[in-house]
Structure 1
Amino acid sequence: MAAAPRWLVHGDSVVEGWAASRPHLAWLAVAGRALDVEDVNLGYAGAARGELASAQQLASLEADIITIVFGTNCWSRTPHTAGLLYETTLAFLTAVRTGHPQTPLLVVSPVRRPDGEATPNALGATLAQLRDAVERATRDTLRGGDDRLALLPGAGLLTPSHLVDGVHPGDEGHALLARAVAGNLTGNKFLGTIFGKALD
């Protein structure tokens, strides 16, 4: 029996599964079951700010698919400017590609966070501006020739009603994230032979 495709997912507390009522209801677990893959959760609460050490770790690990979800924590705990996060995202993607030059890679930009959307952080950047920086860096990398890269904009994936504490989604929000990410992956032309099914 062939091994299931290995899916590495790097991100923050939302990837880790915070606020889901049970571990199996976190979005990555839901999507992994739906796609019939070996999902590897590399979510780190309070982190995932584009640290190059994390990119190097991803580059060194075996993977058939990679998903990167970061940017939210660049608004608060360790503030970034939009320019800094743009360059950080470019560097992160470049570092991952040193180990995975042809692996399908999906970048998901930050989901909405009501207290940060229009509020400048300590360095003057709103979350909306930081989200735009992640997306611009991903699109510029695509235009640079990385045709196995995809972007899923996070702003429209959840509404404030899906956030149990203003930051983390509850079970309904996790289910919506699972559906959106899995749908993006199964719709990617490079993944058609990897996945056997999508979410209903």
Structure 2
Amino acid sequence: RGIGGTLAPAPPAPRWVVHGDSITEGWWSTRPAHGWTAVAGRALGWDTVNLGYAGAARGELATAEQLASLPADALTLAFGTNCWTRVPHTAALLYETTRVFLDLVRQGHPRTPLLLVSPVLRPDAERTPNRLGATLGALRDAMERAARERIAAGDGRLALLPGRDLLGPEHLADGLHPNDAGHRTLGLAVVTALRRAGFDGG
């Protein structure tokens, strides 16, 4: 019960659903409030739903179906780094995966603002082929090409934020995951991209 006042729920805010890997989940940030999704959500005044899954987020179609079924006023997808290793992808496979993933999400959210963030810098993977011969640079290009083609085909509620140049080596805590400064830089870049696309509700 309230002490010296009454209890009331916070005013409703736009529900922002974000899907990604361990970077989205917030690994290496010193506290949850420093992860990039939290940084961006505060700047936008949105209610952030963080669906980051460490070690996963390879464009699993079951996840796309889940996202399609969830209520959301805006969506952001930030995956692809884990497609370079462990369960390796070719560029052609990630291109098709991205295309189909977007198709499935759009079945539940045909007009919901959607931002796709391609993989951020990963120095050990940028020019190093994985077991199937694909570098992270090639995988990123394939993912971005799938998004650009969909935008060109008429999806005006889809925006792309290329991830390669958003962070530098100084932003990486372990060569893969951002440190606090990197999370903040990434979060603010996402805010800028959403606003430029007209997705901030302002």
The TM-score bracket by the shorter chain reads: over 0.9
Q: Which has the greater radius of gyration?
A: 2
Report how far residue 151 of structure 1 moved.
Answer: 0.2
Matched residue, 1:11: 20
**Take 2:197 and 2:85, find their aligned partners in 1: how far apart are those partners?**
32
Report how far residue 185 of structure 1 moved.
Answer: 0.7
**Take 1:188 and 1:150, find their aligned partners in 2: how far apart are those partners?**
7
Q: Which of 149, 155, 164 is residue 155 of structure 1 equivalent to?
A: 164
Normalising by structure 2, report the TM-score.
0.94
Matched, 1:44 2:53: yes
Report how far residue 3 of structure 1 moved.
Answer: 1.4
Matched residue, 1:103: 112
Report how far residue 77 of structure 1 moved.
Answer: 1.2
**Take 2:142 and 2:15, find their aligned partners in 1: how far apart are those partners?**
28
Normalising by structure 1, report the TM-score.
0.94
Gaps of 5+ in 1: 196-200
Report how far residue 2 of structure 1 moved.
Answer: 5.1
Could you tell me the percent identity over the aligned residues? Answer: 63
AA of the residue aligned to 2:33: H
Matched residue, 1:21: 30
Q: What do residues 43-67 of structure 1 show as CA deviations (whole Å, max 9, x unaligned)?
A: 0000000000000000000000000
Matched residue, 2:92: 83
Q: Which of 54, 67, 75 is residue 66 of structure 1 equivalent to?
A: 75
Please tell me the root mean square deviation across aligned C-alpha atoms, in Å. 1.0
**Take 2:11 and 2:42, find their aligned partners in 1: how far apart are those partners?**
16
Regions of 4+ moved over 6 Å: none
Matched residue, 1:170: 179
Q: What do residues 81-109 of structure 1 show as CA deviations (whole Å, max 9, x unaligned)?
A: 00000000000000000000000000000
